């Protein structure tokens, strides 16, 4: 039906397109065509799930168009510069995947839309984010079938326009989208300044890829298309190195690298100046792993990335409401979806917040898209609707992502002189706000400025949550939670001072998913919000003294680790409350530094408020949401999104010998039997609080008994 070719990330309209478009008929903007390219039935080697039976998977492509003049789409940056078709609409093509019961009469009626993270599935698929057991990362392995036993439908689709299909692993559970390139009205390229930073480059490396612009990024940055250099003349760009950079932009050891000593090129197999390549840079003498590098250059041909939000909205709306596409291809979910949950994890959780902030939970027919939503481990927003954005990155220094409201209700940001606004401002005006869970852990405080969503920019306000929002802070966890278990020894985290934090979020998130569904479908009120607040003294300044953090021998303190909120001057064409628009300069001036807060801790250094796991309630050590870099240009700063762990001494004698003020495991629990009894009692309390499912309670208490017994950590009795 649409005869366009994505290359790379742009639309080249072939001869005869206008005639084809004219034959479609209706001018209503929407998903116009779905194509099922692959059907796997039954899925999971024919495994059956309870009363639901077998599942099947459909993969395909959704083509659609949006009306740039519709108020719901007018917020898309550069939408007026996107190519329009014969109906003056803007086109896109997104891949999608559906996992559904083979017999839809057995489905629950709930569809969960998993917002892909850098193109990748996280829920229910190979990543098995909420599944237990199985082998995460193994295709065709459903683990314990958490979603499938409930009869839910899962849907994924592409939204991140700077990810080209060739950037994704072959055969992976992943999605992509083709979005247009912005062009000036006269056809000339749109240009503007951009920057890239390179940190922790391995020794012996001489070439770096612009598409993967920083090791800062959570889960690894994939993408980067739409930031092509206007010219490969290095005299028109600037490359510097530095020995250090503070969280507030103070630099040391800055060296300007001569334009003759680097090139936009690939030198991996050809000596410098290498093979000319607009997607890479080559450094004549190689990168020094002890330095931080920064490249500023002029880019051209920005992607209209905000089209991905409209496409996501329309794909969900199609599969929920439509009977068929324009050509009569039946919707495989027609009349089977009564409730939709949007779920976003990490990058996709930040995307979820931005999606709601920009009003995209209302489709072009005025209907609600998601009835409920969970923004998980998402401290800030992100660069998802900004010219020349790199959506795969988080809000590192100079990156956008912390300008918009991080709070749900309307609030007046007097510190940054912003108008009254909140993430739900637009959907509240159209009565399209979903029920919302906000779930996050320690890394979202220490790296993602999560406290700002609680206190605003004053650090003292305790902004009330709207009636449709619940917030659950999973205390003492790393980003996405640790691997769980009850072992005293934990592996190191490369480049960081503290060991890996094993404190799991999975059990809490599984219980909360069930609670969110019950709130949505049955109207059952969810557990009360659980998070630290300024007003009760559980959210304090991010330093050792204010937090009450103990002095632990041979262990760092939290002082200087927390990321502050940086107030940038992005220029007159940036819309701060929308986290959208055009940034004027490559490296933007910092107008002010706004301190952010941290949760209060007990004498062990463990956080005292939130949805605390069983392990945190019966700790074997100190579980932190922070972990400083051990060396390099960012030494002492938060080691991106990493939590840490400091085990307790096993015995009183060991504790006294080291000078550790924290009680030893022997002093706390005495025997394995005592630990197991206490775990069983606490598990029952957590089930009653609805922070733990009965099956998970049985599993982890048994695990505690087995692992502590096997390790010899405590005598049996």
* DSSP 8-state assignment for residue 490: -
Residues facing 598 on adjacent strands: 540
Provide the pLDDT confidence category of residue 134 given band limits of 50, 70 and 90. Answer: confident
Contact (Cβ atoms closer than 8 angstroms) between residue 382 and residue 350: yes
Backbone torsions φ then ψ of 219, nearest 5 degrees: 65, 10
The CA distance from 18 to 424, in Å, is 39
* pLDDT > 60? residue 25: no
One-character DSSP codes across 201-239: PPTT--EEETTS--TTSTT-----TT-EES---GGGSEE
Tell me, rounded to whole angstroms, the distance of Cα 264 from its chain centroid.
30
Q: For 94-127, how does the pLDDT look when each residue is reduced to its tens digit (9 = 90+)?
A: 999 999 999 999 999 999 999 999 998 988 766 6
* pLDDT > 90? residue 702: yes
Which residues, at least 6 apart from 270, have a Cβ–Cβ distance to it below 8 Å? none
The CA distance from 481 to 230, in Å, is 42
The pLDDT > 90 percentage for the chain reads: 85
**What pLDDT, on the 0 to 100 scale, is given for residue 139?**
66
- pTM higher than 0.75, yes or no? yes
Provide the pLDDT confidence category of residue 224 given band limits of 50, 70 and 90. Answer: confident
- Helix 307-321 to helix 347-357 angle, to the nearest 10 degrees? 80
Which residues, at least 6 apart from 334, have a Cβ–Cβ distance to it below 8 Å? 322, 323, 324
**What pLDDT, on the 0 to 100 scale, is given for residue 213?**
39
Instruction: Name the least confident of 212-226, 425-439, 444-458.
Output: 212-226
Q: For 278-316, how does the pLDDT look when each residue is reduced to its tens digit (9 = 90+)?
A: 999 999 999 999 999 999 999 999 999 999 999 999 999
Element (H, E) at 488: none
Provide the pLDDT confidence category of residue 133 given band limits of 50, 70 and 90. Answer: confident
Q: For 145-178, how does the pLDDT look when each residue is reduced to its tens digit (9 = 90+)?
A: 999 999 999 999 999 999 887 777 666 678 999 9
Residues facing 574 on adjacent strands: 581
**What pLDDT, on the 0 to 100 scale, is given for residue 6?**
35
Contact (Cβ atoms closer than 8 angstroms) between residue 548 and residue 603: yes
Contact (Cβ atoms closer than 8 angstroms) between residue 487 and residue 453: no
Average pLDDT over residues 575-600: 97
The CA distance from 229 to 508, in Å, is 45
| Cα angle 363, 366, 367; round to 5 | 70
β strands within 621-717, DSSP E: 621-624, 644-647
The CA distance from 414 to 461, in Å, is 12
Tell me, rounded to whole angstroms, the distance of Cα 105 from its chain centroid.
34
């Amino acid at each position: 039906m649409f005869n366009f070719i994505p290359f790379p990330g742009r639309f080249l309209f072939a001869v005869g397109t206008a005639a084809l478009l004219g034959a479609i008929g209706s001018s209503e903007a929407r998903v116009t065509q779905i194509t099922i390219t692959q059907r796997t039935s039954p899925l999971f080697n024919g495994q059956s799930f309870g009363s639901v039976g077998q599942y099947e998977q459909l993969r395909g492509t959704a083509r659609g168009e949006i009306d740039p003049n519709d108020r719901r789409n007018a917020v898309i940056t550069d939408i007026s510069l996107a190519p329009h078709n014969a109906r003056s609409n803007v086109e896109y093509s997104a891949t999608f995947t559906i996992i559904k019961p083979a017999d839809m009469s057995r489905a629950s009626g709930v569809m969960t839309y998993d917002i892909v993270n850098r193109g990748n599935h996280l829920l229910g698929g190979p990543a098995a984010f909420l599944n237990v057991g199985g082998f995460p990362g193994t295709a065709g392995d459903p683990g314990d079938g958490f979603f499938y036993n409930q009869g839910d439908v899962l849907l994924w689709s592409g939204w991140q326009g700077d990810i080209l299909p060739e950037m994704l692993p072959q055969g992976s559970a992943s999605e992509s989208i083709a979005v247009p390139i912005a062009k000036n009205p006269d056809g000339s390229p749109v240009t503007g300044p951009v920057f890239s930073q390179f940190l922790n480059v391995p020794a012996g490396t001489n070439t770096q890829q612009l598409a993967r612009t920083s090791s800062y990024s959570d889960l690894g940055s994939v993408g980067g298309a739409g930031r092509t250099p206007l010219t490969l003349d290095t005299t028109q760009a600037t490359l510097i190195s530095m020995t250090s950079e503070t969280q507030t932009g103070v630099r040391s050891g800055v060296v300007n690298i001569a334009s003759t000593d680097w090139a936009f090129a690939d030198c991996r197999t050809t000596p410098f100046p290498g093979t000319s390549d607009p997607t890479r840079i080559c450094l004549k003498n190689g990168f020094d792993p002890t330095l931080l590098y920064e490249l500023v250059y002029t880019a051209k041909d920005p992607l209209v990335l905000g089209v991905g939000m409209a496409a996501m909205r329309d794909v969900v709306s199609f599969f929920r409401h439509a009977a068929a596409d324009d050509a009569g291809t039946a919707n495989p979910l027609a009349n089977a979806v009564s409730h939709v949950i949007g779920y976003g994890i990490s990058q996709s959780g930040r995307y979820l917040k931005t999606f709601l902030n920009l009003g995209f939970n209302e489709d072009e027919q005025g209907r609600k898209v998601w009835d409920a939503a969970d923004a998980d481990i998402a401290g800030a927003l992100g660069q998802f609707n900004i010219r020349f954005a790199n959506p795969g990155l988080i809000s590192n220094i100079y990156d956008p992502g912390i300008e918009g409201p991080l709070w749900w209700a309307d609030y007046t940001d007097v510190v940054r002189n912003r108008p009254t606004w909140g993430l739900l401002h637009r959907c509240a005006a159209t009565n399209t706000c979903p029920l919302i869970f906000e779930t996050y852990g320690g890394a979202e405080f220490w790296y993602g400025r999560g406290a700002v969503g609680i206190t605003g920019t004053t650090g003292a306000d305790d902004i009330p949550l709207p009636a449709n929002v619940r917030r659950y802070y999973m205390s003492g966890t790393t980003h996405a939670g640790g691997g769980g278990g009850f072992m005293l020894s934990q592996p190191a985290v490369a480049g960081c001072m503290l060991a890996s934090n094993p404190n799991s979020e999975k059990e809490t998130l599984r219980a909360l998913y069930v609670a969110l569904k019950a709130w949505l479908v049955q109207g059952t009120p969810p557990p009360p919000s659980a998070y630290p607040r300024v007003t009760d003294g559980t959210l304090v300044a991010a330093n050792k003294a204010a937090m009450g953090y103990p002095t632990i021998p041979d262990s760092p303190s939290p002082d200087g680790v927390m990321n502050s909120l940086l107030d940038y001057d992005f220029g007159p064409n940036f819309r701060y409350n929308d986290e959208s628009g055009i940034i004027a300069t490559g490296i933007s001036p910092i107008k002010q530094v706004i301190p952010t807060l941290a949760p209060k801790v007990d004498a062990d250094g463990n956080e005292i408020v939130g949805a605390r796991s069983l392990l945190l309630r019966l700790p074997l050590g100190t579980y932190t949401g922070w972990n400083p870099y051990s060396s390099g240009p960012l030494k002492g700063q938060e080691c991106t999104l990493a939590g840490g762990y400091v085990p307790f001494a096993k015995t009183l004698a060991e504790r006294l010998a080291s000078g550790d003020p924290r009680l030893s495991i022997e002093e706390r629990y005495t025997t394995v039997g005592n630990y197991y009894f206490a775990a069983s009692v606490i598990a029952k309390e957590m089930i009653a609080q609805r922070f733990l499912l009965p099956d998970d309670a049985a599993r982890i208490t048994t695990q505690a008994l087995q692992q502590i017994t096997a390790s010899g950590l405590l005598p049996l009795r």
